[in-house]
Amino acid sequence: MSMKLSDFKYPTPRNLIAKYPAKPRDSARLMVINRADESIEEKRFSDIVDYFKKGDSLVLNNTKVFSARMVGRKEKTNAKIEVFLLRQLNAEEGIWDVIVDPARKVRIGNKIYFDDGKLWCEVVDNTTSRGRTVRFNQKGNLYGLIDRIGLTPLPYYIKREPEDADKEAYQTVFAKYIGSVAAPTAALHFSQRLLTQLHDKGVSISHVLLHLGLGSFRPVEVEDLSKHRMDSEYFEVPLSAADAVNKSINNKGNVFLVGTSATRAVESAVTTTGHLKMARGWTDKFIFPPYEFKIADKLITNFHLPESTMLMMVCAFANRDLILKAYKKAIKEKWRFYSYGDAMLIL
């Protein structure tokens, strides 16, 4: 029986939404769910090493978050306008897709100024009710400038302003390739110490890339999930990752996928024999029940929003009733939810 949007509802625990991360990052609580016997255990994230054995693979998303939230002033009126950068469309022309707030004040032809007027953009098109296409006065790679004047793009449900500490906290310790407007949050729990322990245990650690846009977080607005369309996001699976994962598969090792973004990248690059292949491009893959995972044996993830595409993927990996039972337990026991919250390992 196909599932509907309403099958993924649960009471939103507003008082449990984590405003700050656990310190140190690998000290968060870890809920371990065993699909075979449907048991649920509580551990610390640092205990995750115990679930790996020599020859297993760990796959991480090494995207890097940039300071996508910029506050500027509209020409003439000096009205405060927030511009949320989504992705660069054309570096040579300085053209970007953005979201503006308040949208009613921003029309085609308007200019918005940042950094005491040294950087500004002009609105050249409307894309959605809040979406705009803009052209910056400076061309080429703007990421360094953006990181200096922009704010960490914390999710809307974290009801506070970004702080200096978020620049490090809302970034994985292995982040490398800039381009995401949201962190691969399950991977935030990994410390360098933990990665070293896994390496010393004989676990192969691989990196794939998927730049998170707002597509993963766009609300599903159709009851029939087959009619929902994900926004395309750029991904890469390098040969080194494919080789390491395939070696684990061939040697009967387990492949641990960290987060829904890494899982989408990997599941977008599967061979007919159920192996991983080198790939790069754009993926709009939407994983919801029922779905047969080709690569992932174990999944490390966070607690996700109700009716979100991330929760749907987790419910495709495990039994939906089991996952919602685990969420109910987490609410009762006051676990911390969402991006800066606690973690889950599904065996």
Distance, CA of 331 to CA of 313 (rounded, Å) = 20
Residue 42's beta-bridge partner residues? 31
Write out residues in the chain with pLDDT < 70, as ranges. 1, 216-217
Task: Provide the β-strand partners of residue 196.
Answer: none
In the chain, where the domains are located: 5-65+167-346, 69-149
Element (DSSP H or E) covering residue 278: none
Query: In this structure, which CATH number among 3.30.465.10, 3.40.1780.10, 3.30.70.20, 3.40.630.30 belongs to the domain 5-65+167-346?
Result: 3.40.1780.10
Measured between alpha carbons, how far is 181 from 85 in angstroms, rounded to an integer? 8
* Angstrom distance (rounded) from CA 33 to CA 48: 12
List strand residue ranges (DSSP E) for the chain, in order.
29-33, 40-44, 57-61, 63-65, 69-74, 80-90, 95-101, 111-114, 119-126, 131-136, 177-180, 204-210, 233-237, 255-258, 279-283, 298-302, 343-346
pLDDT at 1: 59
Look at residue 214 in the predicted model and tell me its pLDDT. Answer: 74
Which pLDDT value is given to residue 139? 87
pLDDT given at position 113: 96
Gap between the Cα atoms of 181 and 13, Å rounded: 24
- pLDDT for position 76: 87
Strand order in the sheet with 204-210: 40-44, 29-33, 343-346, 298-302, 255-258, 57-61, 204-210, 233-237, 279-283
pLDDT of 36 = 96
Integer Cα distance of 220 and 232 in angstroms? 15
> Which pLDDT does position 313 carry in this prediction?
97
What integer pLDDT is reported at residue 216 of this predicted model? Answer: 65
The correct CATH number of 69-149 out of 3.30.930.10, 3.20.20.70, 1.10.3720.10, 2.40.10.240 is: 2.40.10.240
**C-alpha to C-alpha distance for 105 and 177, rounded to whole angstroms:** 34
Longest dimension (CA), the chain: 66
pLDDT at 181: 93
Q: Write the DSSP symbol of residue 276.
A: B
pTM of the entire predicted model: 0.93
Structure tokens of 116?
């005491």
Are 96 and 132 spatial neighbours (Cβ–Cβ below 8 Å)? no
